[in-house]
Amino acid sequence: MDKAIQYELHLAQRMSRLGTETAFEVLNKARALERSGKNIIHLEIGEPDFDTPANIVEAGIDALREGWTHYGPSAGLPELRQAIAEDVSRSRGVKVASDEVVVVPGGKPIIFFTILALAEAGDEVIYPNPGFPIYESMIHYAGARPVPIRLREEKDFGFDVDEMASLITDRTRLIILNSPQNPTGGVLGKQDFHDIAAAIGDRNIMVLSDEIYSRLIFEGEHYSIMSVPGFQERTILLDGFSKTYAMTGWRMGYGVMRPDLAAHITRLMTNSNSCTASFTQVAGIEAIRGDQSSVDRMRAEFQGRRDVFVAGLNRIKGFSCRMPKGAFYVFPNITKTGWKSKPLADALLEEVGVAGLSGASFGEFGEGYLRFSVANSLENLNQALDRIDAWTRKNL
């Protein structure tokens, strides 16, 4: 028999610049521990624990039966693009037409495509840190230079606009904003956006405004930089269905942007996914146009859990936690435990079966924090608090 040849894997150089999202790695590790018999409370992954509302599921099933099983236009079904345009026009107080909307499989592709389309070697992209790790990963991947803007706990995880202004150079192509924010739950207010807009001035810098948690706000109202006069043309608004309608597995999100850029983002869709699944999009029309009471119910539930979990964390030795104003994450400061974020997250997972994430997995300025998702039942959240408390009593 021939001797099997071992072929060395020759990866393209660019793959060394691609990062990842730790949540999925921790989830895999937690699942492996579960398979070995350990009981795990999952507070690591950022997805609602609710089922997709029944009216949306029914619309998806009907769509499958009606034959929405074929390719559709790369930019999305016209009726869905129209529904999104109307929804965004209403919620952001701007006039959006359907040719400014591109439907993609999840919010993530808008990050991927926007950075690919706008940033190249030597360009600089300012992004929040701690922040969604895909920003930094994609900026690196595109060969551009990531320029972190530090989110500050004392500012309720907002940032210092003067500091942001000082980071802008002639090479700045893109500024990424995210409110409500992952991982901190921080929310920028209307005045913050006007200050940010004033700092950008009339420079030809684009803003990627990640608003995937726009409907998960517990205090005040959501505001978008797209609503600031003069900024619609320079904003790519990212929003979607994953978090608002508990549709993470359906894979559907969208970007709203000037039509000339939309044509290029559509070309990236044609080259990668062809289109978002057609039956998913039909369900998306129902999500936007149908009954919204489930959105309010889920938000109220997250708020109740947030209150309990934050209060509980603040009773635990070495932990101190601000009350997040949005999203479904809490981001306690753990510096007083004397532990670094990653070893503490690992210890809580391995020793007491509480899966959370190290703040450092969201960037260098996330060191000193942990991220827990409150997308779990109150019963499990209370049990997680008991386990963390017991761990700190034993180890601190």
Interaction of residue 46 with ligand PLP, rule CB under 6 A: yes
* Sheet strands (E) in 204-339: 206-210, 235-240, 253-256, 329-330
Residue in 74, 158, 85 with CA at minimum distance from that of residue 113: 74
Alpha-carbon distance values, 146 to 121, 173, 175, 366 (Å): 11, 11, 10, 16
Q: What are the Cα distances from residue 303, in Å, to 30, 236, 264, 299?
A: 26, 29, 39, 6
Report the residue number, 242 or 294, with the smaller CB distance to ligand PLP: 242
By beta-carbon proximity to ligand PLP, the closer residue of 107 and 130 is 107
Task: Tell me how far, at minimum, the Cβ of 148 lies from ligand PLP, in Å.
Answer: 15
How far apart (Å, rounded) are the C-alpha atoms in residues 194 and 174? Answer: 17
Name the residue whose CB lies closest to ligand PLP: 106
Question: Quick check: 158 binds ligand PLP (CB under 6 A)?
Answer: no
Least distance between ligand PLP and beta carbon 145 (Å): 21
355 vs 385 by CB, closer to ligand PLP: 355
3-state secondary structure of 277: coil
Q: Is 108 among the residues that bind ligand PLP (CB under 6 A)?
A: yes
Give min distance, CB of 80 to ligand PLP, in A.
15
| Choice between 240 and 353, CB closer to ligand PLP | 240
Q: Considering only residues 106, 133, 146, 158, which one is a binding residue for ligand PLP as defined by CB under 6 A?
A: 106
Q: Which one of 82, 248, 380, 383 is in contact with ligand PLP (CB under 6 A)?
A: 248
Which window, 106-114, 115-123, 149-157, 298-306, contacts ligand PLP (CB under 6 A)? 106-114
Contact at 8 Å (CB) between 201 and 67?
A: no
Closest to 141 in 3D by CA, of 116, 124, 118, 111: 116
Binding of ligand PLP by 178 (CB under 6 A) = yes
* Structure tokens, 120: 């190249």
Do the beta carbons of residue 23 and residue 45 sit within 8 Å? yes
Q: Does the protein bind ligand PLP through residue 272 (CB under 6 A)?
A: no
48 lies in the binding site for ligand PLP (CB under 6 A) = no
Confirm or reject binding of residue 255 to ligand PLP (CB under 6 A).
no
Site map (CB under 6 A) of ligand PLP, residues 116-155, x = contact:
----------------x-----------------------
Range 182-211, binding ligand PLP (CB under 6 A): 182, 210
Tell me if 242 contacts ligand PLP by CB under 6 A.
Answer: yes
Q: Which of 41, 56, 175, 212 binds ligand PLP (CB under 6 A)?
A: 212
Which C-beta is closer to ligand PLP: that of 105 or that of 312?
105
Q: How far lies 272's CA from each of 74, 113, 143, in Å?
A: 10, 10, 20
Segment lying near ligand PLP (by CB under 6 A), choices 3-11, 81-89, 103-111, 113-121 = 103-111
Tell me: cis bond preceding 332? Omega within 30 of 0 counts.
Answer: no
SS3 state of residue 339:
coil
Is 76 a binding residue for ligand PLP by CB under 6 A? The answer is: no
Long-range interactions of 141-145: CB distance < 8 A, separation 24+: 141/14, 141/17, 141/18, 141/19, 141/115, 142/115, 142/116, 143/14, 143/17, 143/119, 144/115, 144/119, 144/120, 144/173, 145/171
Three-class DSSP category at 106: coil
Residue 156: Cβ within 10 Å count: 17
Q: Which two tokens stand for residue 165?
A: 């202004």
User: Total binding residues for ligand PLP by CB under 6 A?
Assistant: 13
State which residue, 132 or 365, has the beta carbon closest to ligand PLP: 132
Does residue 91 interact with ligand PLP by CB under 6 A? no
Stretch (H or E) spanning 393:
helix 378-395
- What is the C-alpha to C-alpha distance for residues 141 and 16, in angstroms, rounded to an integer? 8
Binding site for ligand PLP (CB under 6 A): 46, 106-108, 132, 178, 182, 210, 212, 240, 242, 248, 253
